[in-house]
């Protein structure tokens, strides 16, 4: 019995990640992402927008928000809390909508499961794609605000570099949180109910986000002259604050101890979520083997 | 080539496949028949490594489907009943993905895709430019069949492959299936269209309620059941009693 030309030895059990398959799957998943729900949600006359249009919209939204934040003098911590919050909600919602098609694609069993793909290769392709797609959207949204941050009070010249790193960490956390949430929610709801739940959550979050952007600056002005630093300890349950802590620690003026605290919370909670999400998905994929 | 022993599959309380035993030698074209929910698709999914059996064993090309599913998947081609594809890819992108998953070099894959395109009357422009969501059901089915045969598998499982195909494409496919069997491929053809099975399959296996109720050539089955055609054999072995009388009675009530 022969295997197709070039295929790995069937008895080679250690070769679990097949690079050629991984690259082909990554290309496929990225195409699916760029032609999926995010672009279709901005469709015109039933025709999905191109990814460039969507990215242009994200860049524009980021520019407007950056200009708004630039107009209010604030410290690095406050600036990056608001910026990471925007990234977390906007990108998180987009990835939630998109990941349903990538992680739990209803057609996938008939398209891929009968192909000779090791579950680990499949899982790695899905994870890398989700992180890459999150990074592309977050990168577009943060393009201008990353440089506007240099104007924040106490910002150091390396702020853009540090912000890119903290944004990347936020994206990894965001992708892991989405996978984990999907895994948990899909246990209790069927796929259709979950899609409805996700759609309504998006609407709710959008309203909350727009309302929050109107309310928060006014609250800041009223209570502490545009700084969240005095309230930092109350913000610890919010993931964006953890990453703002990193920005503030390395490229701002927030005391080192407080920054470490946020980073410690990230290490403790964020990486735990990543690990849990990975384990959850691997269990699911292994069951299909 | 395919060896099944005491194979069962249960979904909770429901038994989809019940203690099946079956041997299919290399180069045989076998028709797998059965009413809806009989367990045909479940059996195919076990043989392609997509589902794990609850008990029993199955070997495909000498590889155990439970112990070595990847080796099984390397040597089989499968045309699913659903005709599922990634709809936002073009046919070209989809087929290149499939080729890469089997490690077919890109130049070789391109040549093979073009050859299949010519066979199924799909132009290179159509393959390259249109997303699969814009294809008709029949065109999509041609792509699914191409994807199943692209790596030149030794064993091919067809689950309702004629779904959506026009008369000419169906005729071409039937001829292709017969030719593949003559070339030495083992083919399991699962369908509800009995006359096609009667014409092209050298052996027919009928599954009913998860068990094999008949196995042999069409002539043998007609002789065993005393019926004149495969349709009547199928009806005798799988239908509820008085089906024809009930249909006539229902039509009378409907037109009254």
B88–A118 C-beta distance less than 8 A: no
B63–A116 C-beta distance less than 8 A: no
CA angle A43, A37, B99 (to 5 degrees): 115
| Closest chain B C-alpha to A193 CA, distance in angstroms | 22
Name residue, tokens 């025709």.
Answer: A47
What is the share, in percent, of chain A residues with pLDDT greater than 90? 13
Q: What's the complex ipTM?
A: 0.87
Reported confidence tier of residue B196, pLDDT bands at 50, 70, 90: confident
Residue of chain B with shortest Cα separation from A15: B70
Reported confidence tier of residue B247, pLDDT bands at 50, 70, 90: confident
Distance in angstroms (rounded) separating the CA atoms of residues A147 and A170: 18
Quick check: helix, strand or coil at residue A5?
coil
Sign of CA pseudo-dihedral B97, B103, B109, B115: negative
Distance in angstroms (rounded) separating the CA atoms of residues A179 and A177: 6
Distance in angstroms (rounded) separating the CA atoms of residues A283 and A287: 6
What pLDDT score was predicted for residue A12? 47
> Residue B83 has which token pair?
């005709």
Q: Average pLDDT, stretch A242-266?
A: 69
Sign of CA pseudo-dihedral A16, A20, A24, A26: positive
Model pTM score: 0.79
**Residue B73 Cα distances to A7, A24, B248, angstroms:** 12, 18, 47
What pLDDT score was predicted for residue A3? 46
Instruction: Write the DSSP string, B51-77.
Output: S--SEEEEEETTEETTT-HHHHHHHEE
Lowest pLDDT segment from A17-26, A34-43, B112-121, B223-232: A34-43
User: What b-and-e string marks burial along B217-243, b requiring 16 or more CB atoms within 10 Å of the CB?
Assistant: ebeebbeebebeebeebbbebbeeeee
Residue predicted with more confidence, B217 or B238: B217
Contact A246, A82 (CB under 8 A): no
What pLDDT score was predicted for residue A72? 74
Residue A40 has pLDDT above 80, yes or no: no
From start to end of chain B, where are the E strands? Answer: 2-11, 14-24, 29-33, 55-60, 63-64, 76-79, 155-159, 186-190, 203-208, 211-216
Strands B55-60 and B2-11: antiparallel
Question: Tens digit of pLDDT for each residue in A131-173?
Answer: 888 899 899 999 999 999 888 888 888 999 999 999 999 998 8
CB proximity list for B255: less than 8 A, separation 6 or greater: none
Distance in angstroms (rounded) separating the CA atoms of residues A282 and A271: 16
B49–A111 C-beta distance less than 8 A: no
CB proximity list for B151: less than 8 A, separation 6 or greater: A4, B77, B98, B99, B102, B104
Chain A residues with CB under 8 Å of a chain B CB are 1-8, 10, 20-21, 23-25, 27-28, 31-32, 35-36, 105, 107, 109-118, 288-289
């Amino acid at each position: 019995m022969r295997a197709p030309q070039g295929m790995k030895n069937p008895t080679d059990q250690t070769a679990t990640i097949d690079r050629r398959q991984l690259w082909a799957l990554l290309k496929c998943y990225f195409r699916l992402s760029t032609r999926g729900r995010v672009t279709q949600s901005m469709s015109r006359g039933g025709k999905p927008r191109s990814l460039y249009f969507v990215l242009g919209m994200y860049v524009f939204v980021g520019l407007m928000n950056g200009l708004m934040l630039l107009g209010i003098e604030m410290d690095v911590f406050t600036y990056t809390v608001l910026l990471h919050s925007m990234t977390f909600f906007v990108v998180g919602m987009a990835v939630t909508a998109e990941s349903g098609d990538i992680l739990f694609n209803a057609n996938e069993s008939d398209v891929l499961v009968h192909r000779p793909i090791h579950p680990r290769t499949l899982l790695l392709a899905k994870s890398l794609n989700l992180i890459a797609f999150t990074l592309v959207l977050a990168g577009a949204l943060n393009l201008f605000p990353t440089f506007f941050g240099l104007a924040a009070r106490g910002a150091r010249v390396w702020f853009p570099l540090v912000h890119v790193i903290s944004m990347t960490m936020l994206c990894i956390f965001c992708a892991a949180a989405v996978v984990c949430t999907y895994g948990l929610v899909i246990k209790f709801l069927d796929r259709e109910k979950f899609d409805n739940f996700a759609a309504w959550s998006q609407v709710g979050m959008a309203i909350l986000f727009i309302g929050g952007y109107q309310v928060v600056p006014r609250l800041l002005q009223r209570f502490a002259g545009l700084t969240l630093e005095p309230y930092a300890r109350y913000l610890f349950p919010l993931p964006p604050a953890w990453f703002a802590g990193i920005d503030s620690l390395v490229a701002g003026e927030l005391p080192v101890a407080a920054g470490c605290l946020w980073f410690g919370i990230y290490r403790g909670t964020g990486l735990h979520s990543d690990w849990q999400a990975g384990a959850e998905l691997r269990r699911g994929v292994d069951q299909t083997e | 080539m395919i060896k099944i022993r005491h194979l069962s599959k249960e979904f909770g309380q429901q038994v989809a496949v019940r203690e099946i035993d079956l041997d299919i030698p290399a180069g045989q074209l076998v028709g797998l028949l059965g009413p809806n929910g009989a367990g045909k698709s479940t059996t195919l999914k076990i043989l392609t490594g997509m589902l794990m059996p609850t008990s029993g064993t199955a070997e495909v090309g000498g590889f155990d489907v439970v112990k070595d599913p990847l080796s099984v998947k390397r040597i089989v081609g499968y045309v699913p009943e659903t005709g599922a594809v990634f709809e936002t890819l073009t046919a070209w992108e989809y087929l290149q993905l499939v080729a890469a998953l089997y490690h077919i070099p890109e130049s070789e894959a391109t040549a093979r895709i073009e050859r299949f395109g010519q066979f199924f009357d799909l132009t290179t422009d159509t393959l390259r430019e249109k997303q699969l969501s814009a294809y008709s059901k029949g065109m999509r089915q041609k792509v699914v069949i191409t994807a199943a045969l692209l790596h030149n598998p030794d064993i091919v499982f067809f689950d309702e492959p004629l779904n959506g195909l026009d008369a000419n494409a169906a005729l071409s496919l039937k001829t292709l299936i017969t030719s593949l069997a003559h070339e030495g491929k083992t083919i399991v053809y699962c369908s509800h269209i009995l006359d096609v099975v009667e014409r092209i399959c050298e052996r027919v296996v009928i599954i009913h309620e998860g068990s094999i109720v008949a196995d042999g050539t069409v002539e043998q089955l007609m002789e065993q059941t005393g019926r004149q055609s495969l349709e009547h054999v199928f009806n005798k072995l799988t239908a509820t009693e008085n089906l024809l009388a009930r249909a006539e009675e229902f039509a009378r009530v409907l037109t009254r």
